[in-house]
Amino acid sequence: MNFVLIFLITIFSLSLFFYGRSKTKSISIEKNIKLKALPKFYGYYLVLWCSIPALVFLLVWSLFEPIIIKTIIIETAANQGAIFDDKNEANLIYEKIKAIHLGTYFGDIDSILKESALSYAKFINLFTNSKVVLIFGIIISSVIYALNKIKNNNKARDDVERILKGLLFVSSLIAILTTLGIIFSLLFESIKFFSVINVFDYLFGTNWSPQRAFVRDASSITAEEYEDLKDAFGFIPLIAGTSFIAFIAMLVAVPVGLFSGIYMAEYASSKVRKFSKPIIEILAGIPTVVYGFFAALTVGPFFRQFGESLGLTVSSESALAAGLIMGIMIIPYVSSLSDDVINSVPQSLRDGSYAVGATKSETIKQVVIPAALPGIIGSVLLAVSRAIGETMIVVMAAGLAANLTINPLESTTTITTQIVMILVGDQEFDSPKTQSAFALGLTLFIATLILNYIAQRAVKKYREKYD
């Protein structure tokens, strides 16, 4: 139905374009008046008025129609005597009603379901009919409005441009909408979570085992049960594991990335640079699931065997393997950013250093790097925020059990791993376990936001210093 409507709107718009163009042309010739815009702009004007209101209406309608129909149907079913205890059962009944309507349901059909299916069909029909009628109403009224304007020889180009500019503005608003969407969706579940679990028990608890809260009705938790629950959602082991793996990653990425950045910026001939820079940047372009596969199937087992030959017990999901591979993934972030930063240190500083007899490396160590330090720190912070938000490597190569340790050979878990573990497969909403994933997401979001803010400030300040 929607496709037919969109098709019809397109056809109308196209024909209105040609109508508007030729009509204004002929009017200007007949009455010998000068048009205030080229004839085609009158066509565009009609097209915009014909299509935009109708399409916006169609979009909004399609978003809300299923939700409204669902509420109505579930209510009528309840009035007719259908019994359901919670939202899930209501959803199930709704799906059944829908399936009966489509003729794809093969279970037992009782009278309530049958009645509801009939009223479902009735409502669908009603909604579709009113949708079509309303859309045509909108098209007709907006086109009449536009035609009137055209007759009065309006400044069609300015009007068209004003509408289009509005369209451009709306598209740029999508970035704000996305941010709002993220904040809303994270907060919505997190607030529910924190209404059950105390924020301080979450932030400072030292034990993370959400599976303990598997089947429990969040709305009616007794004090005893809470004593048990609050111990299940301790954030400390997760942030410890996350920072630990990120720290190992930075141990790899910072020296390698920084030295390659320095070499590229200060030593490498343009030939070497042209060849090696893109290859290092390949590391950033490889999907992280590939690194995860490599870490889990090659590096992890290799470390374990190697450790065994030295008489060490190494977990095959060791923090070391995950951290090492993550570090390699991050090298290009550090190297290309620090390359840029070093390049923007003014040549006069270097020349001054050479003039007093310093060698190149002394100049770099004692003049260039101190001058570029804020920018370098900024790029390292950006890399850290990458590392703590990285998911696939740790999901595949790090452990699943929360484990407070500083032994890199043992397995630890991270925030992102836990989010995936909690949400993969079937979730039951309204359980503190599912909601805890959103609380973790919120924590992660805030942490990366702060890191990015500081990093961007540092880089920006640094840039301003030498601009």
Partner 1 sequence: MTKEERLKKRHKAEKRFRFYGVVSILVALLFVLILVQNIFSKGSSAFKKTVINVEIFFDQELLEIKNGASENEIIEADFYDVAIESLIKAYPTKNLKEENQLLKLFSGDAEFEIKQAFLDNNNLIGKKINLNITASDDIDQLHKGNYPRDLPEDRRRISDFQLVIYDFLVENDKIGKNFNNYFFKNGDSRDPELAGIGGALVGSFYSILICLLLAFPVAVLASIYLEEFAPKNKITDFIEININNLAAVPSIVYGLLALQILLATIQLPRSTPLVAGITLALMTLPRIIIPCRASLKAVPPSIREGALAVGASKFQSVFHHVVPLALPGTLSGTIIGLAQALGETAPLILIGMVAFVVDIPSSPVDPSSSLPVQVYLWSESAERGFVEKTSATIMMLLSFLIVMNFLAVYLRQKFEKRWN
Nearer Cβ to partner 1, position 154 or 390? 390
Q: Shortest Cβ distance from residue 318 to partner 1 (Å)?
A: 17
DSSP 268: -
Q: Shortest Cβ distance from residue 407 to partner 1 (Å)?
A: 25
Q: From start to end of 13-97, where are the E strands? A: none
Q: Shortest Cβ distance from residue 129 to partner 1 (Å)?
A: 23
Tokens representing residue 95 in the block: 């799906």
Nearer Cβ to partner 1, position 135 or 382? 382
Around 452, how many Cα atoms within 13 Å sit in the side-chain half-sphere?
11
Nearer Cβ to partner 1, position 82 or 299? 299
Nearer Cβ to partner 1, position 73 or 258? 258
Nearer Cβ to partner 1, position 151 or 461? 461
Q: Count CB-CB contacts under 10 A for residue 208.
A: 26
Residues near 427 by beta carbon (within 8 Å), at least 6 away in sequence: 434
Q: Count CB-CB contacts under 10 A for residue 438.
A: 21
Q: Shortest Cβ distance from residue 16 to partner 1 (Å)?
A: 21
> Residue 265 and residue 10: Cα distance in Å, rounded?
55
Per DSSP, the residues of 167-200 read HHHHHHHHHHHHHHHHHHHHHHHHHHHHHHS-HH
> Residue 386 and residue 368: Cα distance in Å, rounded?
26
Q: Count CB-CB contacts under 10 A for residue 422.
A: 19
Q: Shortest Cβ distance from residue 117 to partner 1 (Å)?
A: 19
Q: Shortest Cβ distance from residue 417 to partner 1 (Å)?
A: 10
Nearer Cβ to partner 1, position 142 or 288? 288
